[in-house]
Each structure stands twice: as structure tokens, then as C-alpha cells.
Amino acid sequence: MSKILLLQGNQAVVEGAIAAGVKFFGGYPITPSTEIAESLAERLPLVGGKFIQMEDEIASMGAIIGASLTGKKVMTATSGPGFSLKQELIGYACAAEVPLVIVNVQRVGPSTGQPTSPSQGDIMQARWGTHGDHWLIALTPASVPECFELTLRAYALSEKYRVPVILLMDEVIGHMRERIELPDNYDEIPQAERKQPACDPADFKAYAADDSLVPPMPPFGSGYRWHVTGLVHDETGFPKGTGAATKAAADRQYHKLYDHLDDIVQVENYCLEDAQYAIVAFGGAARTAYETVDMARKEGIKLGLLRPITIWPFAEAEIQKLAENVQGILVHELNRGQYVYEVERAVAGKVPVHSYAKYDNEPATPAQLLAEFKKAMAL
């Protein structure tokens, strides 16, 4: 059985978190993500979970890292200024391979910016905000139902690969309301589970991995003892100061994700079967692009949309395949131009790549996007 609801994107994330088995939220309220914290403050105690409003976003990250180490599925939610504060401990979670989910409902920045206006200006920060070589996953929903679905997927990927996952939303998607159909009973939804050690506790090495390159992760208090650090470490979990240890740790963490891109990377292709031109757009910007494609086709222009659902790792193979089949690409994003540079790099000059960057507090209309597309392609 199922139920039909009218929910905000932020509320759908909460439903996804409960359905995924989240038992701890540590956060600090910030527009436009506050509804996530408010709703989980009510919902988590009803399912045996805990909610803590921390003193700031730095403490929020520390709290969810600690809770994750005890074996719980955890979440925090924020927007641009708070996401900036979280970066140091995001790096720690990457280094220590701590599974967790961070929701970033993007708004106009930098600094305080425009708290209630939509933006996609944190695209590069999501990938490179913390220092050093590190690897993580970022997913971007484009509808309220997808907020639910991608929250579930975020936990599936985080637990499977022992990696932080960022649910990179924008104010458009976070605050819009849509019809959503949800199961009556979340107990029927399969739960992502972490790999557990098969050895005796006396023989356990915290970061010794099998062919999957993902080490098992027993919860603290289960009898398995292990050291957690942001320093480069070997398979014992204790710091190791050699160049070989640094290279081995980086290579394993890279390959545990990039050897499985077929499992991790998702895109949606809309009207691309016979397309001569393509728009690349994601999140709230993709909402405009669907209608733009339909308008163009009514005019006889064979336009299609490639919508990245997985923002990081970058959908390189999918973009390269697109470039082999179209005459030109327009990247539309709600910032002054970020993702377009990744598309240009992947396309490598095979076809022209143009940018329609919208950064004036408002999403584009379909007519505006169509006009910019025609201008870019000289149609």
C-alpha cells in the first residue's frame, strides 16, 4: 500500500532519511534547509533516533562522524555558509572513510549572500572544498520524488563504499511542493548495511580491504578495537609517515569509487535519441530545460537534455558519448559558470560547448533558456 502526499523537497528528504534507517541528526538551522532539521527533530524520536541541535556547523560534522562510528546511519543538513564551515571535518570523514550524508540546499553566495534565493554555486566546493586529494560522491535531485529516492540512494552508496555522500540540492528543489507517492510501511524498504569483519577481534586490522577495496567497519563497542585519525594511516589505522603509505591510501580510496563508476554514476537522457543539440543541466535548472526541449521540438529543432544525477564523480563517459552524437552543447547552471568547465574538459573540442550562466537570484524561464540556446547555436 502507498500514500499520496504534497511535500516540499526538504520534507521528502526527511522521509527518505527515515526510510533509510537514519537514527542520528546533528545540525544547525540555516535557510533554505531548516525544514529538514525541524522535521527530523519531530520524527527521529518516534523511531528510536536522536536529534541534537549543535552550537554550529563544525560541531554538527563532528557529532555525525562520532555517531557513524557507533554504527548508526547519520545526517546533517545545511546551506552555503554552513557547508563552508563543515569542510575541515568533511576532509576528516574522507580520510577516515566514515559513511555519512550531508544535505546542502544551495543558496546565493558567497558569505551570507541571498539566503532565500536559489543558486547552484557550490558545485565545485562540493568536490574540492576540503584540502588535499580526496574522493566522495554528490547527488543532485530535480524533483520532490527524487529527493526521497536519492536520499535512499545516498545511504546505499555511503554505506557500501564507506564514503561521505553529499545530497546537493538547491532552493528551488528544497522549497517546491509536488505530489509524491510513498510506501505506507518503510520497513519493507531494503536497508543498506556496512560490511562487517569476518575475522576474530584479535586479528582485526581496521583498514585491511579485500578486492572491493572497502574495509569492513565494525561499530565502536562491538568488541573490535580500531584507531580513527585524519593522518595518513596504514591498514592498522595508526599513522604512517612514509611516502608509500600516502600513495597506497590515496590509490585505494580512489579506486574503490572510480573502479565502480557504472554503479555510482547516473544520468537521465531526455529526447536525446535523435537530438542534434543538447542541453546539460541539473537540479532546479533542469526543470526549465525539460520545457525548453519540448518548446524547441515544436519548432522543429532536435534538442535533447542530459541531466547529471550524480554530479561527482563526474559523468565523463556519458558526456563524451553525448559529444559524439550532437553538433553542440549548452550547459545551463544557476551560477556564473562551474560545471561547464568539466563538460568542456570531457568534450575536448569535439563539438562547441557554450554556457548559459544564470546568477541573478531567479531561475531561467523556458523561453529565456530557448533564446540563449538559439543564440549560442546561431539558429
User: Which residue ranges form the domains of the chain, and what is each CATH number?
Assistant: 2-188 (3.40.50.970), 268-377 (3.40.50.920)
pLDDT at position 309: 98
C-beta of residue 65 within 8 angstroms of C-beta of residue 94? no
Half-sphere exposure of 122 (CA within 13 A, CB side): 34
Greatest alpha-carbon span in the chain = 70
- Please give the backbone phi and psi of residue 251, each rounded to the nearest 5 degrees, phi first: -65, -45
C-beta of residue 117 within 8 angstroms of C-beta of residue 332? no
Segment 90-96 mean pLDDT: 98
Under DSSP, is residue 9 helix (H, G, I), strand (E, B) or coil? helix
Q: What is the mean pLDDT of the chain?
A: 97
Segment 253-277 mean pLDDT: 98
pLDDT at position 1: 80
Half-sphere exposure of 298 (CA within 13 A, CB side): 8
CA–CA gap between residue 351 and residue 169 (Å, rounded): 29
Question: How many CB atoms are located within 10 Å of the residue 376 CB?
Answer: 18
Residue type, 176: M
pLDDT digits (tens, 9 = 90+) for 297-318: 999 999 999 999 999 999 999 9
pLDDT category at 112 given cuts 50, 70, 90 is very high
Question: How many CB atoms are located within 10 Å of the residue 302 CB?
Answer: 17
Segment 171-179 mean pLDDT: 98
CA–CA gap between residue 127 and residue 124 (Å, rounded): 5
pLDDT category at 133 given cuts 50, 70, 90 is very high
Task: Name residues whose C-beta falls within 8 Å of residue 154's C-beta, 6 or more positions apart in sequence.
Answer: 20, 101, 137, 139, 165, 167
CA triple 145-148-149, angle to 5 deg = 85
pLDDT category at 21 given cuts 50, 70, 90 is very high
Residue 291 above 90 pLDDT?
A: yes
Residue 158 above 90 pLDDT?
A: yes
CA–CA gap between residue 307 and residue 318 (Å, rounded): 10
Segment 345-366 mean pLDDT: 98
- Taking Cα atoms as reference points, which of 296, 258, 246, 251 lies closest to residue 275? 296
Task: Name residues whose C-beta falls within 8 Å of residue 227's C-beta, 6 or more positions apart in sequence.
Answer: 206, 233, 236, 237, 238
From start to end of the chain, where are the E strands? 2-8, 22-27, 50-53, 73-78, 100-108, 114-118, 137-139, 164-170, 177-183, 267-270, 277-280, 303-308, 310-312, 328-333, 353-357
pLDDT digits (tens, 9 = 90+) for 33-79: 999 999 999 999 999 999 999 999 999 999 999 999 999 999 999 99
- Please give the backbone phi and psi of residue 24, each rounded to the nearest 5 degrees, phi first: -150, 135
- Taking Cα atoms as reference points, which of 363, 28, 45 lies closest to residue 176? 363
pLDDT at position 294: 98
CA–CA gap between residue 290 and residue 304 (Å, rounded): 8
Q: Is the peptide bond between 201 and the residue preceding it cis, with omega within 30 degrees of 0?
A: no
